[in-house]
Structure 1
């Protein structure tokens, strides 16, 4: 491969026309991935794969035995899908990556950032689960009569990774990053499976979920999505709240690489009419400045608390406190880039 590339480069420099063999078509990659996917012992399995996404993105449908339903997972295969590659799991925020019937029209990592182009040449598999709006991506204690059965932690840490590994030549050396509501979830994933998720990135989030302020924040998000927080971790004060609080369980992060970033709510360089996603719409800008400003004004306080907690435990972590910025996709795209610079060596063989 290297010799062919060197020859092609030399010929091109000499003005000789070169025909480069294209990568396998997404449809072919999808079919191969589905055929190679190995079912999990609990019955979780890949049931469909289609090149329905933009670019090389594959819609992988995975049946979750824990939730007893199919889950869509958008996968951007590695640059060479037939070679070993670690996986970067990108977990979405409060709406689960889709605020419409089709995730390709919703707000998520692949539609609101440059992830598809940015990772286009990376020898890493990008994995974005769809769904989980208002669930905190955790295992609920009871089925919710309105929102259903949620066993997201089991799905994300036990069921999905082996299927991804078998379908896309995974190495078992993975990283996970999430924003806003998902910030606490990605820490729980790393605490649950540190042997797999060896690096975690949290952007604009509050990970302390069991103190009074944290419980109020969790309850407001869950109820806004018509769920009952008692079905998640029980009534306030139930031991499950503390057991699922990454701040209290921080000792389990020892040995995991940690990257945390946040704005502070002060208008920054992307909070303008020409900023990402604003399209010169003053209403959108006002929402970003007001709501987004308040939210990152809160998350900066949470992030300082986490910094102090990890320092107290002598757990190494990188914290990026932006000088300005709101709770918005333009800044999370930058966070994703910065996180990748640290995760690249871990994930690429």
Structure 2
């Protein structure tokens, strides 16, 4: 016997059976809470008419047994579906992951399944594809992310086919177009970033677009433009470069800006990936950031914290925004629940000042 290892005292002829882990069912929950199966079902589905004390007892039993409803089985047993979809098309993986986590957390809390579908928003058959996905998977509803959420004709076609949806959109105010959405005021946050650079003393401020199919790109450009106007700084087309929400486009755009005879002293990238590309371009040119060039991004993604220096940015609560979109969708789906009367909910990203911005170096 190996030294230091104690042998259990047992008959060597004894058979040891592996422990079987049993998954608890709704019947187990009902027996533990001493209620009917229907009552447990009503609590799980957040239906009205269950006494508070009974609801508490059922929820305690669910927690003690770690009971997890099976969304597909629930859907098959009833006419109601217990799965929702998340449709997106975005080149930024950090944004996509945050949206997925936000929607998924709400689904888990409410016993719903989640089907995630990356899509090509430029596809001419997009509406038919989304309708087919929703119908084939028997989705109860859909959370629609940008840029598809901002295509009014697509949204109308989905609604006309009976698909319940909540949109995440970029807008300075509640669109009030009759559809449920969560809106993000990118314009105001972009204004704050540009204003921050201006107040540091910058007047030559470059702007790098994200993809023009995204409403957020237009809103962020509008905020940049408004701040320049309000501070009496002339808009210069040479300082504005089109591109996409990517590191590579940030790098390429920055190289073009830095090649100008009268180059900018600061650059505002429409997201943190773009800003990180600007930082790489500045470093490759031997520039000192922030003293030779100030750089700002948007969204407060891991790029903004992992860069050196860390990026000034706008903190966007993407996961929380997605949570609210999913909560709003489930609120609209609940049977016999009154339709929400409140206006759509809005979020405003907050300016976060870090080491990538500073006053411009005085001219010799």
Q: TM-score, normalised by structure 2?
A: 0.36
Q: Name the larger-Rg structure.
A: 2
